[in-house]
Structure 1
Amino acid sequence: MMKKTISLLLMLCVIRSFSQDTTQQIMPGRQNAIHQQDKPYVILISADGFRSDFAKKYQAKNLIALGEQGVVADYMQPSFPSLTFPNHYTIVTGLYPAHHGLVDNSFYDRKRQQTYGMQDKKMVADPYWYGGTPLWVLAEQQQMIAASFYWVASEAPIQQLPPTYHYFYNEKISIDQRIETVKEWLALPRDKRPHFISFYFPEVDHAAHSFGPDSKETAEAVQFVDESIGKLQKVAAASGLPVNFVFVADHGMAKVDQQNTIPYPTIDTALFTINSGSAVLQLYAKDKNSILPFYENLKKNAVDYDVYLKSTMPASLHYSTDDDRYNRIGDIILLARLPKVFNRGGRPTGPGKHGFDPHYPDMRASFQAWGPAFKKGLQIQGFENIHVYPLIAEILGLQYDATKIDGKLETLKKIINTK
């Protein structure tokens, strides 16, 4: 009993340290190789939930002006499911979620017999969960310093190479302090200066979930992000360095029917477990013989949602049996149809949601880029977010195996200035 109590206390201390630690983590002994020191710089910014139309809808003047000086896409299509953790990790690996292993915000791992949850700080920092080679790992492998002021998986020592400079995620550090840190990074000596920086904003997602995508609170959050990007741009300009910005979102946001929600299906817990979600539910069978009968029953009675076996998922979602490289997708998947959402126990639900089929227009994310590497005044059509990875690798001059990612350089190479 005493050993169990001590183990629990240790675990709580670890979790508490992750949640309260606001200090910069610095990996010792690293430096830019001489051949990397003259390379360009890329700051990859994600504004969570920043739908493709939000800059214009809420008159984000800095983003609009910077877009005119660079490249703006009609939209960037998230990968399925259109959720925060899978898509942030897709952007930095060039892999669909079923290919990099982070298949949902919450999912069951059959090998470890454990459920991944994005709220579990200790689990989020465990490299076991993350396949692929994130951009910061790619950079560090080639002796190019990377930094992260928050990004999904940046706290985990993936391939034993977390970013040289990074922070445990928290929302206690002020935006001005975070921008000052970027300024300090760019002022470091050439051998210690990060060439790849990731930077994350949660505000728009928070506001749109709580108040809806059409609310004044969401408008204010967009303005906050826009003002902050204006400050970051001034910091980059003052550095005198060839800094390029890539501004993205992980997904869009839809207004949903809060009153007429879809109840979770009644399941026999001896036969299935179910993850939590609003747009997507995954059922994991404990007894494989129970899959088909329960699937048929669900399909026959489904209203306002679609029912799939893992083997029958639409090919366009890249989420079927053949895609499931880590065996983490549910045996049965339920997809809500907008504006409906799943709701366990009839609890109150917020007006803004995402996670749906990414082909819904409201799920579309933002993309724009500016800086010396990019063409000016260019508007391009929508594209999938898997293609951001090879774009950034190309700008930074990093080598990668194109056969091991889903993204294609050809998709966005046209937006880069020719040398």
Structure 2
Amino acid sequence: MHFLQNGGKIRLFLFLAFFFTITDLKAGEDKPYVILISWDACRYDYIDRGLTPTVQSLIDQGVRAKSLKSCFPTKTFPNHYSIITGMYPENHGIIFNNFIDPASGDSYRIKKDDSVKQDKWYKGIPIWFTAQEQGIKSGSVFWVGSEVYKRRPTYSLDYNHHMPHDERIAMIDKWLDLPLIDRPHLLMLYFADLDDNGHKYGPDSPQLDSALVKLDKTLSKLLSVVAEHNLTDSTNIILLTDHGMLETKKENAINLPEILKGFNYTLQGYDPIYSILASEDSLEKIYSALKQNASGYNVYWKSELPGRFHFSKNPLIGDIIILADPGYYFFSGKSTYSVGVHGYDNEIPEMQGIFVASGPGFKKNLTADTFLNIDVYALICKILQIKPTDSVDADIERVKHLLK
């Protein structure tokens, strides 16, 4: 009798385990998917060149914004991390692509693996981390922040700039082929092609157009992969960018070393924006020198920056900010000339990018007004039923009209 009782308990345990597994799987079947794709430096008007039929098919079935406004500064790492934390750069800590902690002297460099992976720099909580805490798995192909120790998505890759497009799509295919209990419902992809070609050849170059065509074909392959897994009806595709691109001219160089000759200072950032670190007794003199020579740029005390920039709270930001006018750039002694540049005021149309979304969560045939990229975080949370973390700057009220 005792044996039968134990056997009954075992059978009951196995039945309950099976029941809850099946229940979880059925719940998983009902959950939507989000695939978030970034085409770095895809200016808002690039997709109007008639070169991206796959993008146009998404627009025809979903939502397009007139433009997506980047956070300031309009740089790659600050904005990609803003998109997945829902926070302004001054709050999440990635203030530039490259910067120094004036207190410790430690540096953050986007091409320096050991600094990019250190969690001490990242103050925001990425959406994949919040999703995982709430039972939703994630996968990232090269999204900014996905290499950080202790905060990685469920599945991720260390950055490889030269990985072919097809191999990136193959990773998504592999993850979608996982058993439902292991499958990510939030997937992220990053492509640098437009940024590379925009910097080197300019935003209106044939090389950039060729990169657009290639990316559109890659997008078509991704949609085919989703269809092969019978997930089209449950998948929300979000295609966006981090910033735009503006063409400069060599003759618009501002000779910063000449203006600041004789001063000791450290520059944070890169063209066309820098913050300046210097000793207390030098700051006033540096500010005066910059102010006296201010042609083609503006100079600000950090505390006097326009509030719309949301770029004055973080102690990592230097006390003085210099920002070039559109089309101008700083020659700093280290920087080289780029035909295309970004980093300017985020109100400038050329600094704004694309937002296209299609899927069961989005309205159809809607052209929306420009909105700020931090609110993409709120959209994804709403679609995947993720409770946002506290203290985010994103607000679903500003973008809920995009959703069904």
Q: What is the TM-score with the length of structure 1 in the denominator?
A: 0.87
Shift of 1:297: 2.3
The residue type equivalent to 1:77 in the other structure is: K
2:167 counterpart residue number? 177
Shift of 1:385: 0.6
Q: Provide the C-alpha distance between the structure 1 equivalents of 2:206 and 2:50, rounded to a whole number of angstroms.
A: 9
Question: Equivalences for 1:105-124 in 2 at 5 Å?
Answer: 105-124=97-116
SS of aligned partner of 2:317: coil
Q: Provide the C-alpha distance between the structure 1 equivalents of 2:380 and 2:171, rounded to a whole number of angstroms.
A: 22
1:416 counterpart residue number? 403
CA contact (8 A) 2:63 2:368 kept: yes
1:387 counterpart residue number? 375
Higher alpha-carbon deviation: 173-182 or 300-309: 173-182
State percent identity of aligned pairs: 37
1:274 counterpart residue number? 267
1:376 counterpart residue number? 364
The residue type equivalent to 2:160 in the other structure is: N
Shift of 1:107: 1.3
CA contact (8 A) 1:37 1:191 kept: no
1:355 counterpart residue number? 343
CA contact (8 A) 1:108 1:284 kept: no
Shift of 1:230: 0.9
Q: Which of 244, 261, 276 pairs up with 1:283?
A: 276
The residue type equivalent to 2:241 in the other structure is: A
Runs of at least 5 residues in structure 1 that lack an aligned partner in the other structure: 1-31
Describe the shift of the 1:410–1:347 C-alpha distance in structure 2 as closer, same or farther (beyond 3 A). Answer: closer
Does residue 313 (structure 1) correspond to residue 305 (structure 2)? The answer is: yes
Shift of 1:135: 1.1
Question: Equivalences for 1:212-361 in 2 at 5 Å?
Answer: 212-241=202-231, 242-266=234-258, 267=260, 271-285=264-278, 287-320=279-312, 323-324=313-314, 327-345=315-333, 348-361=336-349
Shift of 1:164: 1.2
Q: Which of 65, 71, 74 pairs up with 1:79?
A: 71
Higher alpha-carbon deviation: 185-194 or 172-181: 172-181
SS of aligned partner of 2:270: coil
Q: Provide the C-alpha distance between the structure 2 equivalents of 1:291 and 1:172, rounded to a whole number of angstroms.
A: 42
Q: Provide the C-alpha distance between the structure 1 equivalents of 2:293 and 2:199, rounded to a whole number of angstroms.
A: 29
- The superposition leaves residues 317-368 of structure 1 with CA deviations (integer Å, 9 ceiling, x where unpaired) of 0112xx22xx111111100001111123397512100000111110011101
- The superposition leaves residues 63-113 of structure 1 with CA deviations (integer Å, 9 ceiling, x where unpaired) of 011111000000000000000000000000000101100001111213332
CA contact (8 A) 1:252 1:364 kept: yes
Shift of 1:290: 2.0
SS of aligned partner of 2:303: helix
SS of aligned partner of 2:311: coil
SS of aligned partner of 1:394: helix
Q: Provide the C-alpha distance between the structure 2 equivalents of 1:344 and 1:272, rounded to a whole number of angstroms.
A: 12
Q: Provide the C-alpha distance between the structure 1 equivalents of 2:262 and 2:277, rounded to a whole number of angstroms.
A: 10
Runs of at least 5 residues in structure 2 that lack an aligned partner in the other structure: 1-22
Q: Provide the C-alpha distance between the structure 1 equivalents of 2:294 and 2:189, rounded to a whole number of angstroms.
A: 41
The residue type equivalent to 2:248 in the other structure is: V
Q: Provide the C-alpha distance between the structure 2 equivalents of 1:361 and 1:156, rounded to a whole number of angstroms.
A: 32
Q: Provide the C-alpha distance between the structure 2 equivalents of 1:77 and 1:98, rounded to a whole number of angstroms.
A: 16
SS of aligned partner of 2:180: coil
The residue type equivalent to 1:415 in the other structure is: L
The residue type equivalent to 2:49 in the other structure is: K
Q: Provide the C-alpha distance between the structure 1 equivalents of 2:310 and 2:132, rounded to a whole number of angstroms.
A: 29
Choose 1 or 2 for highest CA Rg: 2
Shift of 1:272: 2.1
Shift of 1:293: 2.6
Describe the shift of the 1:142–1:33 C-alpha distance in structure 2 as closer, same or farther (beyond 3 A). Answer: farther
SS of aligned partner of 2:239: strand
Shift of 1:150: 0.7
The residue type equivalent to 1:294 in the other structure is: I
SS of aligned partner of 1:398: coil
Q: Provide the C-alpha distance between the structure 2 equivalents of 1:73 and 1:189, rounded to a whole number of angstroms.
A: 35
Describe the shift of the 1:283–1:348 C-alpha distance in structure 2 as closer, same or farther (beyond 3 A). Answer: closer
Q: Provide the C-alpha distance between the structure 1 equivalents of 2:178 and 2:264, rounded to a whole number of angstroms.
A: 57
Q: Provide the C-alpha distance between the structure 2 equivalents of 1:132 and 1:356, rounded to a whole number of angstroms.
A: 24
Corresponding residue pairs, total: 378
CA contact (8 A) 2:263 2:282 kept: no
The residue type equivalent to 2:244 in the other structure is: G
CA contact (8 A) 2:92 2:122 kept: yes
Higher alpha-carbon deviation: 271-280 or 67-76: 271-280
SS of aligned partner of 1:191: helix
CA contact (8 A) 2:107 2:115 kept: no
Q: Provide the C-alpha distance between the structure 2 equivalents of 1:275 and 1:378, rounded to a whole number of angstroms.
A: 40
Shift of 1:264: 1.8
Higher alpha-carbon deviation: 175-184 or 341-350: 341-350
2:47 counterpart residue number? 55
Q: Provide the C-alpha distance between the structure 2 equivalents of 1:44 and 1:190, rounded to a whole number of angstroms.
A: 20
1:365 counterpart residue number? 353
The residue type equivalent to 1:107 in the other structure is: F
1:399 counterpart residue number? 387
Describe the shift of the 1:193–1:302 C-alpha distance in structure 2 as closer, same or farther (beyond 3 A). Answer: same
SS of aligned partner of 2:321: strand
Q: Which of 181, 185, 192 pairs up with 1:191?
A: 181
CA contact (8 A) 2:28 2:180 kept: no
